[in-house]
Amino acid sequence: YAPDYGSLSVSKNVSGTGASASEKFTVTVQFTPGQYGSLNDIVYSGGPARGSGRYVLSLSDGEYVTFTNIPFGTSYVITESLTPAQENAGWIAPENISGTITGTAPRFETVENVFAPRYGSLYVEKIVSGDDPSTTERFTVTVQFTPGRYGSLNDIGFSGGTATGYGTYVVSLAGGESAHFTNIPLGTAYAVTEILTADQEDDGWSGPAGAFTGTISGTALVGVTIQNTYTESGEVAGDVDKPDDLPYVGGYGPVFFMLVAGSALIAAGAIAFVISKKRGQGGAER
């Protein structure tokens, strides 16, 4: 008996706004032998035949593989497994495809993935604290987004204006104000920084020492709070002007030394008076 043979081509197609044509997908083709022929008869365009009939392929948009010399009656199942990152980004896996080789006419199967991107959001909040801090003092905050594997920085929505394709936003915030960013493609990294002006530092303001960084990895709202503390400037307690002729020692000021000196003079005068009086009395007795 000389079995008849058919063929099968498996191709990849992607669709959806922002779908990457270079994204690789893992596709598995599993053949099951029929009544005639052998799985070893199959000729595979990507390499040698496999007696198990199982072929694991890596395909991107527009790519395909071909199987020829497939014995009639051989069935096949085509499946695809997305990675967690692909699922999280918004790729949708296709349904399984199955069939049986029943004729010599070529069979074509297309494994299609739809890209429906998922997005996260970020808010940046400003708070102030310290010695009766001003709530009208404005601070310059920079938010820098770096694209991940999926989506575009142009997708981002900004509460304070339009999106910038390069992902940099410079915002001015006072205490209690915030900036909101939506439609951020999952996998996008962010860095939030603030630089105080020289006047703000001189006035007593302090801020965060470094950047707040992270990655948008889910649809839940991500929040960043930037706190500035105000320390009222002024003289330190006990730090008063000191005259050059009276040293300021051990916490006692010049008034203290004047009182001590005055007391010593009074005491010396009293002693002299007593001695003089006693001498006068002695002279009268003689």
Q: Are residues 11 and 104 in the same domain?
A: yes
Q: Is residue 272 part of a domain?
A: no
Q: Is residue 265 part of a domain?
A: no
* Beta carbons within 8 Å of 197's beta carbon, 6+ residues apart: 140
Low-confidence ranges of the chain (pLDDT < 70): 1-3, 163, 165, 234-286
Nearest residue to 76 (alpha-carbon basis) of 11, 29, 108, 111: 29
Give residue 1's pLDDT.
56
Q: Are residues 78 and 14 in the same domain?
A: yes
Q: Is residue 247 part of a domain?
A: no
- Is residue 97 a contact partner of residue 111, using CB atoms and an 8 Å limit? yes
Q: Are residues 42 and 100 in the same domain?
A: yes
Q: Which one of 199, 215, 230 terminates a domain? A: 230
Q: Would you state the structure tokens that stand for residue 264, as one six-digit string? A: 């010593």
Q: Is residue 244 part of a domain?
A: no
Q: Is residue 187 part of a domain?
A: yes
Q: Is residue 56 part of a domain?
A: yes
Q: Which one of 190, 215, 230 terminates a domain? A: 230
Give residue 13's pLDDT.
98
Q: Is residue 249 part of a domain?
A: no
Q: Are residues 103 and 155 in the same domain?
A: no
Give residue 2's pLDDT.
60
Q: In CATH, what number is assigned to the domain containing residue 131?
A: 2.60.40.1140
Q: Are residues 10 and 110 in the same domain?
A: yes
Number of domains in the chain: 2
Give residue 283's pLDDT.
46
Q: Which one of 115, 133, 151 terminates a domain? A: 115
- Rounded to whole angstroms, how far apart are CA atoms 106 and 128? 71
Q: Are residues 69 and 128 in the same domain?
A: no
Q: Are residues 57 and 135 in the same domain?
A: no
* Domain extent at residue 24: 5-115
pTM value is: 0.65
Q: Is residue 136 part of a domain?
A: yes
Q: Is 126 exposed, middle or buried (0-12, 13-18, 19+ CB in 10 A)?
A: buried
Q: Are residues 214 and 128 in the same domain?
A: yes
CA 228 to chain centre: 20
Q: Are residues 37 and 128 in the same domain?
A: no
Q: Are residues 104 and 190 in the same domain?
A: no
